[in-house]
Amino acid sequence: MCAALPTYDDVVAAASRLAGHAWRTPVLRSPAMDAWVGAELFFKCENLQRTGAFKFRGAFNALARFDAGQRRRGAVAFSGGNHAQGIALAGQVLGIPVVVVMPRDAAASKVEATRACGAQVVLYDRQVDDREAITRRLAEERGMTLIPPYDHADVIAGQGTVTRELLEETGPLDALFVCQGGGGLLGGAVLVKDQLSPGCLLYGVEPQAGNHGQQSLRRGAIVHIEPPDTIADGARAQHLGALTFGLIHRGVTDIVAVPDHTLRECLRMFAQAMKLVVEPTGCLGLAAARYAGLPLPGKRVGIIISGGNVDLARYAALLSVDECLCGEATAGPASAARLQLNGISS
């Protein structure tokens, strides 16, 4: 693993490597969304990226830097789905063999898509097994290079190209919301925001059930948690990495945690107002902008939609009225008090 923090120059170099391979996804506007949030919103749509998520950028950038020996021996990674698909496709494009360690409860569509790109999938039980230990063992046994989903300088630099493209198109913003799991996308945003929009307030957003990043930022040290129970399966990391924590601690305004019922509402709004299929993790940024009570009225606000990979049956259930009105959304006063403590109004 790279020990040094990446820089903005690394993001620029990553953009050159990705040219012609990653798609420059659109930045979309919606009057209905502006009215719903009360701000001028700019959505960077990585749900329309290759493999349906931003993860292809970081994976391709990392594999593109392999030497001849690394290319021959291949890469190994662990992922709940989007990094798995990203590195599988990157390996296919570059002719590099890839093995991915995935949880048994990962979305079937993500496992199938990873295999479809030619990667070998090794399944594990996230409640019992240590995915990082399994991956390290495979790397040692097979001589493969481990490319983690977020705590790697080349991965972070590749993810930084998302924010760079957004700000190149919009110009400086007042605030930017970035979903937060392991911190790769958010760490990349720190590198770019400091250069292209230094006055922008940068917010990481994670599910309330998995708010390890928020706890880490408050404590000033990396906090480890148990596997979180959340519909945002792309943000079920249990801790930040050393590199991502260093960047986030340095450059993030705050990390907001949102409950799952707000993600359901935002998923429905994306479908209704913008005709976009967005996975629950991709709804984190909009949920924070809408529900966290931050001073956004009249501001220019960027929101990164991280991905759109969701099983169709699950997507249909999440869109249904009954599903949207269950759980936290219809809980009593105790639940409402928890939301207020978290800075979120229902």
Q: Supply the pLDDT for residue 2.
A: 45
Taking the complete model, does pTM exceed 0.75, yes or no? yes
Q: Supply the pLDDT for residue 141.
A: 95
Q: Are 124 and 103 in contact (CB under 8 A)?
A: yes
Q: Which residues pair with 120 in a beta bridge?
A: 99
- Give per-residue burial for 29-60: e unless 16+ CB within 10 Å, then b: ebeebeebbebbbbbbbbbbbbbbbbbbbbbb
Cβ partners under 8 Å of residue 261, min gap 6: 324, 327, 328, 329
Cβ partners under 8 Å of residue 303, min gap 6: 41, 42, 43, 44, 176, 177, 285, 286, 289
Q: Supply the pLDDT for residue 337.
A: 29
Q: Which residues pair with 48 in a beta bridge?
A: none
Tokens of 335: 């639940």
Q: Which residues pair with 304 in a beta bridge?
A: 44
Q: Supply the pLDDT for residue 322.
A: 54
Q: Is 8-53+156-341's fold the same as 55-146's?
A: yes
Q: Are 242 and 151 in contact (CB under 8 A)?
A: yes
Q: Which residues pair with 204 in a beta bridge?
A: 178, 255
Tell me the longest C-alpha to C-alpha distance in the chain.
61
Q: Which CATH class is domain 55-146?
A: alpha beta
- Domain spanning 8-53+156-341 has what CATH number? 3.40.50.1100
Task: Give the strand order in the sheet containing 201-207.
Answer: 27-28, 40-45, 300-305, 175-179, 201-207, 254-258
Nearest Cα to 173, choosing from 300, 28, 285? 300
Tell me the backbone φ, ψ of residue 26, rounded to 5 degrees. Answer: -75, 155
Q: Supply the pLDDT for residue 182.
A: 95
Q: Supply the pLDDT for residue 342.
A: 37
pLDDT in tens, the chain (346 residues): 446 899 999 999 999 999 999 999 999 999 999 999 999 999 999 999 999 999 999 999 999 999 999 999 999 999 878 999 999 999 999 999 999 999 898 878 889 999 999 999 999 997 889 888 999 999 999 999 999 999 999 999 999 999 999 999 999 999 999 999 999 999 999 999 999 999 999 999 999 999 999 999 999 999 999 989 999 998 999 999 999 999 999 999 999 999 999 999 999 999 999 999 999 999 999 999 999 999 999 999 999 999 999 988 999 999 985 544 333 332 222 233 233 333 333 3
Q: Supply the pLDDT for residue 99.
A: 97
Domain boundary assignment for the chain: 8-53+156-341, 55-146
